[in-house]
Structure 1
Amino acid sequence: MTSLPTPPVHPLLATARELAPRLSERSAEIESTRRLPADLVSELNRAGVFRMMIPETYGGLELHPALSFQIIEALARADGATGWNAMIGAATALTAAWLPEAVGRAIFSRPEVITGGVAAPLGRAERVEGGHRVTGRWSWASGSQHCHWLIGGALVTEGGKPRMVREGVPETRLFFFPAEHVTLHDTWFAAGLCGTGSGDMEVKDLFVPDDHGFSFFAPPRVARPLYGFPFGLLGLGIPAVALGIARRAIDELTSLARQKTVVVERRLLASRPAVQEAVSEAEALVRSSRAFALETIHAVFDEASRGPVSVRSRAELRLAMTHATRGSARAVDLMYEAAGGPAVFHTSALQRCLRDVHTLTQHAMVARPTLELTGGILLGFDPPTPVL
């Protein structure tokens, strides 16, 4: 019987898998310093991790979103904070497609450039001649310490009053700031994802030229299928990180269970029926959630290749993202509980998995309220679509 050929592995995915042992070895260091070490950032950068979503026309890789998803997942399996920062750097760089060509090339044609920032419109941008004066402070600016450019979302004002797109809808835009013009505040003392350096960033009355700002509600200037994908792509990496962390938790519990003897019962932890059941449930949760996520990513990308993506497809994508993240958290919980006492110590990767996965479940893009939004659309209601 002739076996089917093994599909080739993309070089960047292969590199992510090769990096995994070194990343895992340095997880404690990453967590204690509360940011990624500069040498690891350089290694990820040289590999092209931060260029996954940059348009090919600017020298980027412009990968299929399902491939980017798997690369982020592989890095997060090795170390959750590394996977998260890879996701932030790659996903914010896709904004290159919305900038005027001259600016996009100036920023993103440099192979070493890394971007980050916060899209939430927490700042204010006063309209002035030639651009905007932006003031704001944004939390959760992950990986900002190693970025060359940072993006901040802001409410646009004119004469001190919100500028309206239409009745009841104020204008919001995203602005590119050179990193040297941004003040970083060391506020990241969190329960999980400690190594992401997700402190606050701030600008005060910073002039930003018109060509360094954009709106996601405008069509991208680079008309390629990746940029027709719903801008939820910025959060697509969240379930990828969660699934990577969950897979690491299953790995850790499996290894522990085959070695640890339960003293009172005089048998391996792996022989406990409750542990066997937990592993089965976790495996099913992770693999089914991952399959749903990848199936939806492929379907939505195919739709984006043909034209605009429907509201229902956007809702299904958000549902798949939320489901994968929350299913991953449940799988980690099962592995942590099955491990017993050893999991509570900082020397155990399981307690880090627990803290990391429950930190990312708090992100607004995958929090429980998204189920109300997606459920309403699936039931035929017509809620506001910008949040998709």
Structure 2
Amino acid sequence: MQQAKDDVLAAVRDIVPKLRENGLEAEQRRWLPEENLALLEKAGVFAMATPQRYGGLDLSLAEQAEVLAEIARGCPSSSWVSMVWASSAWMVTLFPEELQDDIFTRPGVRISGGFSPTGTLVPSGDGYVLNGTWGFNSGCRGADWNMMLAIVQRPDGTTDEAIALVPMDRFAIADDWVASSLTATGSSTTTATDVFVPAHHVVIPAEAEAAMAAGIELPPPPPGRGYGLYSFLFAQSVATFIGIARGALDIFLERLPGRGISQTQWTDQSQHPLTHIQLGAAASRIAAAEALCQQMYGLLQDRADRYEELTLAERAAIRGHSAYAAQQAKEAVEILYNASGASVIKRAVPLQRFHHDIQGLALHGWILLSTNLEVQGRVILGLDPQTPLL
């Protein structure tokens, strides 16, 4: 897959300036411009996680992350939406082939998702009736499918969590994404009202676990792609953080020539020792985040290639390291933003957008530093992690 990744990466690198140029328009629209989507589609971004048998590129986690980081250098929101669609496509590769055949009708299929169980699935005939509302549904405005977490409610009173794959046009999309961060992700609220879902479009994890306990052999994960659900999601999300930090550094350096330091005698900021320290601190934080990610991706790929599961300690470390890498990227952007003078607050200056986007992303429940370090610390001490998200 090296050549495929190199081709996608080269194509994305070429469009970074245009993605960055479109940033203000994207914020004003509260959704990605069609030009961004067309450029990313042409580059092959939306086919990254699709299996080769469906015409996709089947890139590894590390390869996907490299592309997502490059997108974020141009547009954080474009990277986050691309990450959501890619991670959702990867998840579908873990489901039965009958379902995959329905979903992967083209290599660049776009799948958004709502992973809070805020809906219900009630058995009906040869399927289920879905009702519910899901907030923060990133990428829903441009998606083909919505992958929702819901609660199966059976007549006998038993319940189970389930994942439902439903065409996006069966949902109502509220115009309620008005945010101060990641404004262009279109992360609106979606609502399903009495939507019929065929039984083979519903995956109930507990049933698979029961089958395994009964000795029923289930299909193995795709070769080299069985990373483990939560470890994959935590590790992949950091790519956008790293790309934002790289982009912020690019923009800072582009703006530096000819800049003085107001209210001082310094006419060239690049000659001031404080600027040197700030740049060194930011660059080192970015390098530290990159190194942690490479370590994580190497471990995950090694286990996937061997068809081995991560240990509890390794899964907890993935959570902690993901959040810590994201924190290093956020601090790098903060340093560069604070070193940029008052003019950086203008909306026409992309650095302010990179700054508020990474601030908002760092509050995401998946990547919140305190939560993830707590889980890692508990496992290090031999305590119950007190979360199933491992």
Q: What's the TM-score, normalizing by structure 2?
A: 0.90
Match of 2:57 among 61, 66, 70: 61
CA gap of 1:183–1:235, structure 2 versus 1, over 3 A, is: farther
CA gap of 1:319–1:216, structure 2 versus 1, over 3 A, is: farther
1:259 maps to: 258
1:167 maps to: none
CA gap of 1:227–1:285, structure 2 versus 1, over 3 A, is: same
CA gap of 1:11–1:285, structure 2 versus 1, over 3 A, is: same
Pairwise mapping of residues 72-91 of structure 1 onto structure 2 (< 5 A)?
Answer: 72-91=68-87
Give the CA deviation at 1:9. 6.4
Whether the 8 Å contact between 1:225 and 1:301 is mirrored in structure 2 is no
Whether the 8 Å contact between 2:161 and 2:205 is mirrored in structure 1 is no
1:81-127 C-alpha deviation (Å, 9 max, x unpaired): 11111111111111222332122122203234211121222212223
1:301 maps to: 301
Whether the 8 Å contact between 2:278 and 2:336 is mirrored in structure 1 is yes
Aligned partner of 1:188: which letter? W
Q: Secondary structure at the match of 1:259?
A: coil
CA gap of 1:43–1:221, structure 2 versus 1, over 3 A, is: farther
Give the CA deviation at 1:216. 5.3
Distance in 2 between the 1:202 and 1:20 partners?
34
Whether the 8 Å contact between 2:20 and 2:350 is mirrored in structure 1 is no
CA gap of 1:350–1:112, structure 2 versus 1, over 3 A, is: closer
Whether the 8 Å contact between 1:228 and 1:309 is mirrored in structure 2 is no
Q: Secondary structure at the match of 2:240?
A: helix
- Kindly indicate whether residue 185 of structure 2 is the aligned counterpart of residue 186 of structure 1: no
- Kindly indicate whether residue 359 of structure 2 is the aligned counterpart of residue 358 of structure 1: yes
- Kindly indicate whether residue 186 of structure 2 is the aligned counterpart of residue 197 of structure 1: yes
Whether the 8 Å contact between 1:62 and 1:226 is mirrored in structure 2 is no
Pairwise mapping of residues 1-388 of structure 1 onto structure 2 (< 5 A)?
Answer: 10-159=6-155, 161=157, 163=159, 171-215=160-204, 218=208, 221=219, 223-232=221-230, 233-263=232-262, 264-306=264-306, 307-367=308-368, 368-384=370-386, 386-388=388-390
Give the CA deviation at 1:22. 1.3
Distance in 1 between the 2:243 and 2:364 partners?
17
Q: What's the TM-score, normalizing by structure 1?
A: 0.91
Distance in 2 between the 1:138 and 1:179 partners?
13
CA gap of 1:159–1:53, structure 2 versus 1, over 3 A, is: same
1:115-173 C-alpha deviation (Å, 9 max, x unpaired): 1121222212223342222111111111211111111111221238451xxxxxxx211
Distance in 1 between the 2:121 and 2:302 partners?
36
Distance in 2 between the 1:196 and 1:319 partners?
26
Give the CA deviation at 1:35. 0.7
Give the CA deviation at 1:253. 1.9
Distance in 2 between the 1:215 and 1:60 partners?
26
Aligned partner of 1:192: which letter? S
Distance in 2 between the 1:262 and 1:372 partners?
41
Aligned partner of 1:214: which letter? V
Give the CA deviation at 1:33. 0.8
Whether the 8 Å contact between 1:99 and 1:213 is mirrored in structure 2 is no
1:165-224 C-alpha deviation (Å, 9 max, x unpaired): xxxxxx211111111111101111111111111111110121211110114564885622
1:168 maps to: none
Distance in 2 between the 1:160 and 1:286 partners?
54
CA gap of 1:253–1:154, structure 2 versus 1, over 3 A, is: same
**Which is further off, 228-237 or 318-327?**
228-237
CA gap of 1:244–1:216, structure 2 versus 1, over 3 A, is: farther
CA gap of 1:48–1:314, structure 2 versus 1, over 3 A, is: same
Whether the 8 Å contact between 1:84 and 1:241 is mirrored in structure 2 is yes
Distance in 2 between the 1:84 and 1:97 partners?
20
Counting matched residue pairs gives 376
Q: Secondary structure at the match of 2:193?
A: strand
Whether the 8 Å contact between 1:59 and 1:109 is mirrored in structure 2 is no
Whether the 8 Å contact between 1:185 and 1:199 is mirrored in structure 2 is yes
Identity value in percent: 27
Distance in 2 between the 1:20 and 1:137 partners?
35
Q: Secondary structure at the match of 1:113?
A: coil
CA gap of 1:221–1:34, structure 2 versus 1, over 3 A, is: farther
Distance in 1 between the 2:50 and 2:4 partners?
22
Give the CA deviation at 1:43. 2.7
Give ranges in structure 2 of 5+ residues lacking alignment: 210-217
Distance in 2 between the 1:9 and 1:98 partners?
22
Whether the 8 Å contact between 2:181 and 2:360 is mirrored in structure 1 is yes
1:3 maps to: none
Q: Provide the alpha-carbon RMSD of the alignment.
A: 2.1
**Which is further off, 304-313 or 333-342?**
304-313
Aligned partner of 1:337: which letter? N
1:4 maps to: none
Give ranges in structure 1 of 5+ residues lacking alignment: 1-6, 164-170
Distance in 2 between the 1:16 and 1:229 partners?
25
Whether the 8 Å contact between 1:35 and 1:197 is mirrored in structure 2 is yes
CA gap of 1:327–1:201, structure 2 versus 1, over 3 A, is: same
